[in-house]
Structure 1
Amino acid sequence: MITVDTFRQIALSLPEAVEDAHFENRSFKVNKKIFATLNATENRATLKLSAINQDVFCAFDRTVVYPVPNKWGKQGWTHANLLTVREEMLIDLLKTAYRAVAPKKLGDLVTFDE
């Protein structure tokens, strides 16, 4: 289980990431662009992925990572269940979402462990 505090800590560890309000949830942005939102009451994160990355992450287990069930999901927005997602996968999801919206110079600072 990923706690709200753990999610925030990981998201805000990315270069120049900031937290902001987003309707009744929290958003995490870089360069004024949202890469993730956090719905603490539903223990769910929503992340901006490319269609290819969405397919890759959702192939793992659609009860853990799954497309938002509407037009936003078709644009790459993807839910992650914080009760069941492993921390290593969440880190990869956040890094992938961050790199999808960050300026290249910042995105290049984020690497994945081999």
Structure 2
Amino acid sequence: MKPDDVRRLAHALPEVLEGAHNGHPDFRVGGRIFATLWVDEERVVLRLTPAQQAASCEAEPDLFRAVEGAWGRRGWTSLDLWDAGEDTLAAALLAAWRGVAAAAYDRI
């Protein structure tokens, strides 16, 4: 997968807007970031729950890893794009989107 695939799949989710955070493109729903794209590193950082993070890292340790420090302990997770398939990327984006949308709108 490539950074353009992240954009395509993220924008396919309802009410997603693209912005920027610390010089990196990000994707938001309800004004909250659910994914940040690191174009040069070909990875996406996703806001997962700690349980989703643990399951993803255990299931596919070559693709997923917790972000270092406090952000990672809160569930922020890196997904390396070069070996990720479309189904894996789409599922990870959807999981991150659902969690943020639920909190933002208290309805999903």
Q: What's the TM-score once normalised by structure 2's chain length? A: 0.92
- Paired with 2:8 and 2:84, the residues of 1 have a C-alpha distance of 16
Identity of matched residues, %? 34
| Deviation sequence 1:40-93 (CA, Å, 0-9, x none) | 000010000011111111112222111002110000000000111111011110
What is the DSSP-based 3-state SS (H/G/I as helix, E as strand, rest coil) of the residue aligned with 1:83?
coil
Structure 1 residue runs of 4+, over 6 Å off? Answer: none
- The alignment's C-alpha RMSD in Å is 1.0
Give the whole-Å Cα distance in 2 for the aligned partners of 1:10 and 1:23.
22
**2:66 aligns to what?**
67
TM-score, structure 1 length as denominator?
0.87
For the residues of structure 2 that align with 1:93 and 1:16, how far apart are their CA atoms?
A: 17
Residue in 2 that maps onto 1:110: none
Q: Distance in 2 between matches of 1:45 and 1:55?
A: 17
Please state whether the residue corresponding to 2:59 is helix, strand or coil: coil
**SS of residue in 1 equivalent to 2:65:** strand
Q: CA deviation at 1:104?
A: 4.4
Count of aligned pairs: 105
